Amino acid sequence: MKRFTFDDKDAFLAKLKELLASGVPARRIQIVTPIPVHEALHMLKVPASPLKFFTFTGALTGFVAGFALTIYTSLSWPLITSGKPIVAIPPYMIIAFELTILLGALASLIGFLHLNRLPSIPHILNPDETGNQYVIFVEEDQ
Amino acid sequence: MKRLTLMAVCAALVVLVQLDTSGTHLLPVLLGMALTTGAVLVVAAAELSNAQWIAPVKRPLLAAAPLLFVFPFLVRLAPYPWLAHETWWLRPDFFLARNAGALLVLALIGNLYRRASLTESPAKRKWAVGYLLTFVVAKTMVAMDWVMSFDYPWISTMFPVLYMVECFDAGLALIGLICFVRRQTENVLYDAATLLFGFALFWGGLTFAQYLTIWYANLPEEVHYFTLRFGLMGGREFFAGAVALLFVVPFSVLLIHRARKNHNVIFVLAHLVLFGLVYQRTYHLLPYVNLQLDWLLAESFAMFGALALCIRPDLGQTDRGV
């Protein structure tokens, strides 16, 4: 496996572009970067992460659960306060919003761990630790 | 010649506003002020936070700054209910003096900032801070005196913040329009759209916080703010329209990543946000101002004509962006 290491993002992107232009298929290229480099992902045509579906499912669950919890508890112990209706939407919005954020965030974390197969004790230390460098690995042609 | 035309349009605007006794002037002037102060505000805030994406649209936005000098002359009384029961704060002479004074200081600092920013002077950060601070004071006065005083003794400290956020919305919508006209494909469109997304969320949160506080407290002088307007024909529709156009639509559309890079989407969205500001202001003025269509058209034509004349010469000019 060939390895190209760069301290500079622009040089890294230029080399990546050059490799792709020279006919190296994107599936044989792996990159390691210290920060997200969207241009590189775009060049390699990396498919969009399915993480957003975890977030959306969690957020939707939180939203529904927030309303379900507040409506159920109000109806099971009805208390009329200041002449307001027993089931009043405005204050329940806050609980629904908070649970949307909470479950959305938790689902994102779970999704992140699941998609990255973490925690992985055997791989906790990467022998190819690259620090702040931008690295391109190219698999040799078989 | 262009400068003479601009001065003639500004003079016509001042004359129209001073002749209009119906209070109709509040709608076009408040919207024009949101766009003008918002244009300078977005640049000042972006430069203070070292945001380099603003560079390509900085010149046309700052070109609106000279128009700030017109606003002190547009201060006038509307049919305020408090005119019949003056207080030490709400009395005509003091009202006119403090508002004209605050807007004049804002115009002076805004134009000093504009000059410093365009020449890349080291003093630009100092003037940007000055502009932001003066903006907060002037905008608080405009929101509380010009609009909120209609509902006196109802007082809300959240109300001016809402008007300030709307200035950001207006400034960002203006960037969307500029990018559409120029077919600009740099980061500026995406970054401005992302900021607009954030401010739509902020606006939604503020509006809901204000509504919830009034709903929960249930105090007669506060509830009056909603019940009075909801009881009028079109009151609910204007409120719902403002919520839809300033929160629901921008939030839902800009949630889609690709929409933030699309000129056409942002162009339509910018118009919707500006219409949302019209809805919001109409909702506030509805119970007290009998909007006259002839005055509204004449004043809007002069207000937005002056703004267009200010921005147009610099529309094609761009600084190096990132």
Q: What is the DSSP string of B198-234?
A: HHHHHHHHHHHHHHHHHHHH--HHHHHHHHHHHTSTT
Tell me which residue range forms the domain holding A134: 2-48+120-138
Same domain, A57 and A106: yes
Q: How far is B190 from chain A (nearest CA, A)?
A: 14
A89 → chain B, closest CA residue: B212
pLDDT (tens digit per residue) in B139-166: 999 999 999 999 988 889 999 999 999 9
Q: Which of B271, B251, B172 is nearest to B205 (CA)?
A: B251
Same domain, A81 and A40: no
Task: Find the helix or strand (DSSP H, E) in which A6 lies.
Answer: strand A2-6
Give B-chain residues touching A81 at CB under 8 angstroms. none
Residues in chain B where the model's pLDDT stays below 70:
185-186, 318-322
Q: How far is A126 from chain B (nearest CA, A)?
A: 33
**pLDDT value, residue A59:** 97
The 8-class DSSP code of residue A124 comes to S
Q: With beta carbons less than 8 A apart as the criterion, state whether B210 and B156 touch.
A: yes
Q: Do A90 and B212 touch (CB under 8 A)?
A: yes
**pLDDT value, residue A42:** 87
Same domain, A65 and A106: yes
Q: How far is B216 from chain A (nearest CA, A)?
A: 8
The 8-class DSSP code of residue B256 comes to S
Same domain, A79 and A93: yes
Give B-chain residues touching A91 at CB under 8 angstroms. 212, 216
Whole-angstrom CA distances from B184 to B45, B189, B266, B314, B320 are 21, 7, 12, 15, 13
- The rounded distance, in Å, linking the Cα atoms of B40 and B43 is 5
Same domain, A41 and A9: yes
Q: How far is B208 from chain A (nearest CA, A)?
A: 8
Give me A76's structure tokens. Answer: 């099971």
Q: How far is CA B196 from the centre of its chain?
A: 14
Give A-chain residues touching B216 at CB under 8 angstroms. 90-91
A84 → chain B, closest CA residue: B216
Residues in chain A where the model's pLDDT stays below 50:
none
Same domain, A34 and A85: no
Same domain, A99 and A126: no
Tell me what ipTM this predicted complex has.
0.70
**pLDDT value, residue B185:** 61
Give me B276's structure tokens. Answer: 């949302």
Domain total of chain A:
2
CB contacts under 8 A, B 216-255 vs A, are 216, 218
Q: Are strands A2-6 and A29-32 parallel, antiparallel or unpaired?
A: unpaired
**pLDDT value, residue B322:** 41
Same domain, A74 and A111: yes
| Among B194, B201, B208, B226, the residue to mutate for chain A (most A Cβ within 10 A) | B208
Closest CB from A82, A83, A91 relative to B212:
A91
Instruction: Using a CB–CB cutoff of 8 Å, tell me whether B89 touches chain A.
Output: no
Q: Do B211 and A90 touch (CB under 8 A)?
A: yes
Residue at B164: amino acid letter: M
| Among B218, B219, B261, the residue to mutate for chain A (most A Cβ within 10 A) | B218
For the purposes of burial, counting CB atoms within 10 Å of the CB of B258, is it exposed (0-12), middle (13-18) or buried (19 or more)?
exposed
**Residues B162, B163, B168, B171, CA torsion sign:** positive
Same domain, A60 and A44: no
- The rounded distance, in Å, linking the Cα atoms of A134 and A31 is 7
Same domain, A106 and A72: yes
A91 → chain B, closest CA residue: B212
Same domain, A88 and A127: no
Q: Which of B182, B178, B196 is nearest to B60 (CA)?
A: B178
Same domain, A55 and A43: no
